[in-house]
Amino acid sequence: MTTTSSLRIVEDIADARATILKRAPLGEPVLAPPVQASIDELWGAPTSPAEHVRKILAAVEAEGDAAVKRFSQQFDRSEYDAIEVSGDEIAEAFGQITQAQHDAIAFAVQRVRSYHATQMQHAPTSFTERGTGMVVRPLRRAGIYMTGNEAALPSSVIHTAVPAVVAGVDEIFGVTAARADGTVNPLKLVAARLSGVQRIFRASGAQAVAALAFGTETIPRVDKIFGPGGIFVTLAKQQLFGRVGIDAIYGPTETLVLADDTAKPDLAAADLLAQAEHDVLATPVLITTSRRMAEAVAAEVDTQLATLEREAIARAAVERGGAVVASSIQEAVELANEFAPEHLCVLVEKPEDVLPLVRAAGGVFLGESSPEVLGDYTAGPSHVMPTGGSARFASPLSVLDFLKVMSVVALSEEDLARLGPYAAELARAEGLTAHARSIERRLEGR
């Protein structure tokens, strides 16, 4: 292993699995000392993050708007009177952004809508056949957590809300942190309105999730909550699952770049850093078939790091990741499948030949013309993707997440006569006499 670069290089595969490609198990998060101290002060005793969230949820369930407003204003250091963002505020937001920003948001909305409209054509549909079938219905109400505050993320709003609209959800509500003066970043308001969010509320963190789950005097209760957020949003979603639907548990972002000897080191480095600048806990990983390529990318990472506004954040993330040298493309893909990254960028001579081998990734980005960053904004598929290795069993956010399937049984008397005796026999074998009699009474009455 070399330590001369910010991007460590590992050639032994067993070592790579034990270090770069090994995720720590999910557990109680460790907060920054100032944050933990403020939580302890709030509750007057040492309080774990999970218990902090439990207390907030209980307060919102008991107090409604008052608790939502109290916690949101305290944590966001903001001041405002009305929880709901007014139509006038949203209209004013359109005049507070540039025409270029408006056009970019509108273009992204159109691209994401177009992709998910096509996806909807391939979604499950209602059917009835031989007395049984299913009915597909959209959710009635969806809640969108509009992540970000001063650092607005309008793309996250677009990529979460638009699939809901395409799926046919009746009511879509957004919750968002307010700035110090009580206003909401206009980029988020414009993105929400153009994406189809119908009502927007000033609420953040665990208290916002609780409001959507329980309902308050102002914020309606929803059927399912969508969108990534910080650690307290994540803990709230975990604790409320079952009381309300949730899309997924999202962790820090991660990108795995798969590169052979034909890749351009500067592009591979750029793709790694694009995700590294999100968060010190982000995980950028390179798997390559060439030691020479690994060293070239590592050198490019160091060069490009020095040019970033968020250099310190990106550097910390890079030090969490690393580069793995595999013996072949097949071994590289095998390692990638084991890691099951949120994003898999394939920079090889024939990327289309690699796709059939990929079994576990949130999104696959094939070739130099398909950078993951394009997926963040205007490619089309929702950029809300499974993290933490959950791509082994989970999928990116899609119209399917906003649909429900109800089984339908509508059998004839002839079907009852044919199926009933077997069902009654099974019921008696299980000791469920009332089950058996429910069928036998019908058969006796024929």
Which residues contact residue 107 at a Cβ distance below 8 angstroms, ignoring those fewer than 6 apart?
A: 378
Q: Whole-angstrom Cα distance, residue 52 to residue 42?
A: 9
DSSP-assigned letter for residue 8:
-
> Catalytic annotation on 342?
yes
Q: Whole-angstrom Cα distance, residue 253 to residue 185?
A: 23
220-225-230-235 Cα dihedral, nearest 10 degrees:
100
> Catalytic annotation on 116?
no
At position 285, the amino acid (one-letter code) is: V
Which residues contact residue 95 at a Cβ distance below 8 angstroms, ignoring those fewer than 6 apart?
A: none
Q: Please, what sign has the CA dihedral across residues 59, 64, 66, 70?
A: positive
Identify whether the C-beta of residue 268 lies closer than 8 Å to the C-beta of residue 290.
no
Strand partners, 286: 257, 323
Strand ordering across the sheet containing 403-409: 127-129, 132-138, 403-409
Identify the active-site residue in 343, 349, 430, 444.
343
Q: How many helices (H) and strands (E) does the chain have?
A: 18, 14
Task: Give strand ranges (E) for 60-193.
Answer: 127-129, 132-138, 141-146, 171-176
What stretch of H or E contains 283?
strand 283-288
Q: Whole-angstrom Cα distance, residue 5 to residue 306?
A: 13
End-to-end CA gap in the chain: 79
- Please name the residue ranges forming H helices in 1-153: 13-18, 33-43, 49-63, 65-76, 87-94, 99-121
* Residues making up the chain, counted from first to last: 446
Identify the active-site residue in 277, 295, 342, 372.
342
Closest of 170, 254, 239, 172 to residue 205, by C-alpha: 239
**Residue 10, SS3?**
strand
Which residues contact residue 373 at a Cβ distance below 8 angstroms, ignoring those fewer than 6 apart?
A: 271, 274
CA angle 217, 63, 33 (to 5 degrees): 120
Strand partners, 404: 137
In the structure encoding, which two tokens stand for residue 271, read together?
A: 């793709």
> Could you list the active site residues?
342-343
